[in-house]
Amino acid sequence: MNAEIISVGTELLLGQIVNTNAQFLSRELAQIGINVFYHTAVGDNSTRLTQVLANAQKRSNLIIITGGLGPTKDDLTKETVAACFNKNLFRDEKSYEKMSRYFAKISKKMTENNIKQAFVIEGSNVLPNHFGMAPGMAFCYEGCIYMLLPGPPSELMPMFESYGRVFLLDQLENKQYIESRVLRFFGIGESELETKIEDLIDLQTNPTIAPLAVGDGEVTLRLTAKHPSLDQAMEMLDQLEKKIQPRVGEFFFGYNNSSLYEEVFLLLQQKGLTISSAESLTGGAFAKEITNIAGSSAVFNGSIVCYQTEVKRNVLNVPQDVINKHGVVSFECAKYMAENVLEILHTDIGISFTGVAGPSEQEGKRVGTVFVGIAVKDKETKVYPLILSGSRSAIRTRTVKYGYYYLYKYLREK
């Protein structure tokens, strides 16, 4: 079964809301073995919706339409779909009775446009709406399945989970599971990653491998397996990952929706370690990312944002002769910053960031010159030089990510 999701709503095209419904439905359909090949968004216009529906019928045998079931004049979805198939609309009595009870409870008159929500397309299986007024509906016509769902996610999601999925499973002859696993990498480009596993990509059938550059130095591989048995689909993913990890595992940091920030936090938490930061060009961005995570106070003591040279000298105690000889954008300065913030804020680890984010050179060093220092109690301090490209904002963001990446590698090896 090949599906297309049509999202109705001018607000989607204007960028006023994010289409979380399509994301949710794609994920849910994949789990029961239904391929989603197309997402389409169309405004609240009957003519354009008819055209979109005609295109979908040529290439899909499951068409799910979201939105446009409400009480206003621009809610035209079920009227348009019914007209396409010369079907009538009839009042679903259960939905109407539920609506009547609601308006009686709040002591308000039920207007005609509200009653409109209780109407469904003839021959439909009605999908009850426990969190709103308009019911959904599903029906088969000339070999294609049509499902109409309300637009608000708070109504659509529970409706699909309770009724839509059950309806579709009843239509499937061969039920299959589609399971995906996302492997996340940092510090390797998309082309280099592909090169290292090129033979696996060339030979892929089931499972499949899909590389994707996320941005700011991150790359992912999405592995997808399809099988009637969920356990077997997971085993297929395990076997494929075992082939990939020995080749590119040094750049791997997590699965699915995890982030470098969360992975470092979890490792600090597991190992009972604390960290502090000394930040020049990043301006506190390292601290911002870790404090966005609930419970970070257990591992993060604080940050010294040392944007000016005087702060590096007077607060972080970077020696004046080091500044005179090497400058504040240097290996030596980064080393002192990391070591001294560790002592000042009484933590197990200190991390420092100094460099040139732009727009112009500093101390004769080009834009994108960065030094990341990591000091650990009773260990030799490491300083990592970087040459980064991009805008000022991109350099700062990637600098922070490199800091977290170096921390991740250290903590994994510890």
CATH assignment of the domain containing 205: 3.30.70.2860
Mark whether 166 and 193 lie in a shared domain. no
Question: 163 lies in which domain range?
Answer: 2-171
In this prediction, residue 214 carries a pLDDT of 84
**Same domain flag for 64 and 39:** yes
143 near 135, Cβ under 8 Å? no
Sheet holding 349-355, edge to edge: 300-305, 275-279, 349-355, 369-376, 382-387
pLDDT at residue number 179: 85
- What is the model's pLDDT at position 72? 86
Q: Are 370 and 275 in the same domain?
A: yes
* Domain co-membership, 294 together with 381: yes
Q: Are residues 212 and 292 in the same domain?
A: no
Task: Find out whether 249 and 186 touch, Cβ atoms under 8 Å.
Answer: no
Instruction: For residue 335, give the CATH number of its domain.
Output: 3.90.950.20
393 shares a domain with 270 = yes
Q: Largest Cα–Cα distance in the chain?
A: 86
- Record the tokens describing residue 242, joined without a space: 């075992």
Burial label, 163 (beta-carbon count in 10 A; 0-12, 13-18, 19+):
buried
The H-or-E segment that residue 294 falls in is none
Please tell me whether residues 230 and 346 are part of one structural domain: no
DSSP H or E stretch at residue 284: none
pLDDT tens for the chain, 414 residues: list them: 899 999 999 999 999 999 999 999 998 998 888 889 999 999 999 999 999 999 999 999 999 999 999 898 888 999 999 999 999 999 999 999 999 999 999 998 888 888 999 999 999 999 999 999 999 999 999 999 999 999 999 999 999 999 999 999 888 877 777 888 999 999 998 899 999 999 999 999 999 999 988 888 899 999 999 888 889 999 999 999 999 999 999 999 999 989 999 999 999 999 999 999 999 999 999 999 999 999 999 999 999 999 999 999 999 999 999 999 999 999 999 999 999 999 999 999 999 999 999 999 999 999 999 999 999 998 999 999 999 999 999 999 999 999 999 999 999 987
As given in the structure block, the two tokens for residue 390 are 């991009």
Given a contact cutoff of 8 angstroms between Cβ atoms, the answer to whether 62 and 143 are in contact is no
* pTM greater than 0.75 (yes/no): no
Could you say which of 232, 255, 278 is where a domain stops? 255
Neighbours of 3 (CB within 10 A): 23
* 222 and 281 housed in the same domain: no
Rounded Cα–Cα distance for residues 345 and 358 (Å):
29
Contact (Cβ atoms closer than 8 angstroms) between residue 277 and residue 285: no
Which of 155, 171, 187 is the C-terminal boundary of a domain?
171
CA separation for the pair 368, 187 (Å, rounded): 16
Q: Which of 171, 205, 240 is the last residue of a domain?
A: 171
Tell which residue, 248, 261, 199, has the closest CA to residue 220.
248
226/343 same-domain check: no
d(CA 181, CA 237): 7
What is the count of structural domains for the chain? 3
Q: Indicate whether 379 and 290 sit together in one domain.
A: yes
The pairing of strands 177-186 and 218-227 is: antiparallel
In a shared domain, residues 207 and 344: no
Q: Are residues 133 and 49 in the same domain?
A: yes
pLDDT at position 73 is 83
